[in-house]
Amino acid sequence: MKLQGLFLVAIICLSYTQLVKGQPSTNCSTTTCGKVTLEYPFGTSFSHDPDCYRSEDPSFKLTCDKEKLLFDDLEVVHVNYNASQLRVLIPVSYVCFNSQGHISSESNLIGRLGNLTLSKNNMLTAVGCDMVAYLSTAGSRRRTSVGCVSICDDPLPQVTDRQCNGVGCCQSPVPAWSNIFIVSRNRLRYTSVRSSTSPCIYAFLVENGTFKVSGVESVTNLQNTRFPVLLDWSIRGETCEQVGGIKKCGANSECSNSTDNTGYVCKCLQGFYGNPYLREEGCKDIDECTHPIHKHNCPEFSTCENIPGSFLCNCKSGYDLDTTTNICIPKDSPEYYTKWTQTVLGTTIGFLAILLVVSCVQQRMKHRKDAKLRQQFFEQNGGGMLMQRLSGAGPSNVDVKIFTEEGMKEATNGYDDSRILGQGGQGTVYKGILPDNSIVAIKKARLGDNSQVEQFINEVLVLSQINHRNVVKLLGCCLETEVPLLVYEFITSGTLFDHLHGSMFDSSFTWEHRLRIAVEVAGTLAYLHSSASIPIIHRDVKTNILLDENLTAKVADFGASRLIPMDKEQLTTMVQGTLGYLDPEYYNTGLLNEKSDVYSFGVVLMELISGQKALCFERPQYSKHLVSYFASATKENRLHEVIDGQVMNEDNEREIQEAARVAVECTRLTGEERPKMKEVAAVLEGLIATKTKHQWSDQYPEPMEFEHLLGVEILSAQDETSSTGYDSIKNVARLDIEAGR
């Protein structure tokens, strides 16, 4: 127990050390060097306690040499802790010429500031005639070069007492965030040395407002002059956001990121002064009532009351402050009563008038805006197009209910992410709960995708023509929102893809389930092609077929579907569908007909049999595309390689083989060689009927027993397809699998 206690104490001490790292020790004393006072984060080479300055950054360790405070070889004359700046003295860059125009002496200026940077409150200054000055800098952001040109039309003494406007003297702003700089100067090549002109030209950095041309002496003999320059500093390595809840700045101060985003700086709050980097002391309150510089502006007949960070002006007894004039007025004077009456009356009337006007305007604007916005969204979402098409599309089997925007928000809890059931190419589907507690599925188009509007309207149009128990039921729509919404019955058990490939549900899916689902989907497609009031091609059949709690198939996603006029057998459209399920003939020609759905259903049937995805690039090259792999395996009597092992047994082997032949026949390359959906549905229904009879008789049926199920449909198709016929030997549909596979 003692060891555990010691270990806990060690952890606490280590955590506290990390917390206070970067803060000064509480027993640090103020250091002075010459006229400069040093406090944390600065220290000198004589500081014995490394916690009295920021020892991890060498830029904060200065040198005190003979009463001069030095940063490298630059003399520091002032430290501004609140502004996080140093004022240093920097020499000039110059070149002097003799009477023959040759260089007699020169000096260049190169500065390396470590983690300090040039402040933007400096100027590049050039003094001399017919010269150009350059400043090249490098820093954390970019390399920069600036310069200025000084020209003299008259001898230099005649340009004194002027600003640096390019005549004998020029200036240019210094870019900030630079810690390396070079100052250079050159005389223009086409000029000669005037006898009356200073033989030297100068270029240097100087703090804004500290250099003025005030006489000949101010622009000559500057070789040994040093000018004040401001340097910015910050606590590098962490930003305010990275510091988080750890208090890095002292009392009455705030943290802000440095201008170059490489660290943070501390600054006293308004009304306070001092060193914001001292954790214990921090910034002190400025007493504006007595401070000689930050003095109050209280009027006559008032007293100043200091408060932390500010001050109050209190009129003496019997006076009241007029805030408009900042004058204390006697309470018994006529001016006071007049002012008070006018103020109260004017304020009351003005407030009531403004309130009334604003209320009326807001109500009218809101009413007009809401009505206009709803109409705009209605038209934008194809409301007019929908009404026009529904009125001309023949009898409708769906009573489409119009839902409000508020109702949709409440049903989806503000379209909360936890209500998302799925996302796809046609938008996002949410789980919704209506006021009567009924659960629905709400499909929302993608924001900004105008092509989705046409598909949503098309889906309403198509579903209005369908009345089938295996088609998901459309309950209504909402068109007064920014994107259209469709409301469907809620299907509880996910999609066929989820059950086959195990993304959500248990994948123990029996052959009886799969065969029944195949029969239901085939029957639905046959209904769409042949029995609907207007023939419909789904165009996007795949394994996103919904399943209810009884695993009954519900065909959905009719956004890409097309209505086929009674006088046409095919349409020319832009190719649309899902890779792996897309009819290759439709893909190559753009001609859409019912055989395109037959191909897609064949792929779905292959997935039901094999349990494999239609397209999977993780499989070997020969089996990436399920259709070609399945057809080759069937042709070469290797069907057992692709059949899902969970469904194969001796009782259903013949049914699976028959279903496999149907799947291969559906996926032939040319549409003319594929059977019709009603023929496919008849064959699959025959397999279920045969299985039921087998359960009664406990034996396999003889081939002749299929005749009443298959013969009529297949024989009727002989004249329509070239390769689908009737085999009198086996009395089953002859499924040719050798056409181009």
Q: Give catalytic residues, as residue numbers.
A: 540
Cα–Cα distance for residue pair 167/104, rounded to 1 Å? 24
Task: Render the burial of 424-438: b for 16+ CB within 10 Å, e for the rest.
Answer: eebbbbbbbebeeee
Q: Which two tokens stand for residue 408?
A: 């949709």
Identify the burial level of 460 via C-beta atoms within 10 angstroms of its C-beta, where 0-12 means exposed, 13-18 middle and 19 or more buried.
buried
Residue type, 587: Y
The helix or strand, by DSSP H or E, that contains position 187, with its residue range, turns out to be strand 178-187
Residue type, 208: N
Among 462, 461, 594, residue whose Cα is nearest residue 529: 594
CB 593 within 8 A of CB 581: no
Q: Which two tokens stand for residue 724?
A: 């689908």
Residue type, 369: K
Q: Give the contacts of 605 (CB within 8 A, at least 6 positions apart).
A: 518, 659, 662, 663, 666
Q: Which two tokens stand for residue 555?
A: 């065909």
Residue with token string 């399945």: 630
HSE at residue 698, side-chain half, CA atoms within 13 A, is 0
Gyration radius (Cα) of the chain, Å: 44
Q: Give the contacts of 76 (CB within 8 A, at least 6 positions apart).
A: 36, 62, 69, 70, 86, 87, 88
Report the chain's terminal Cα–Cα distance, integer Å.
77
Identify the burial level of 70 via C-beta atoms within 10 angstroms of its C-beta, where 0-12 means exposed, 13-18 middle and 19 or more buried.
middle
Taking every pair of Cα atoms in the chain, the longest distance, rounded to a whole number of angstroms, is 130
Name the phi and psi angles at 227, rounded to 5.
Answer: -110, 145
CB 723 within 8 A of CB 739: yes
Q: Which two tokens stand for residue 328?
A: 């204390």
DSSP 545: -
Residue type, 261: N
Neighbours of 68 (CB within 10 A): 15
For the beta sheet containing 200-207, the strands, ordered from the edge strand earlier in sequence to the opposite edge, are: 103-107, 93-97, 200-207, 122-127, 169-173
Cα–Cα distance for residue pair 561/307, rounded to 1 Å? 75
Q: Give the contacts of 579 (CB within 8 A, at least 6 positions apart).
A: 615
- ∠139-145-146 over CA atoms, to 5°? 125
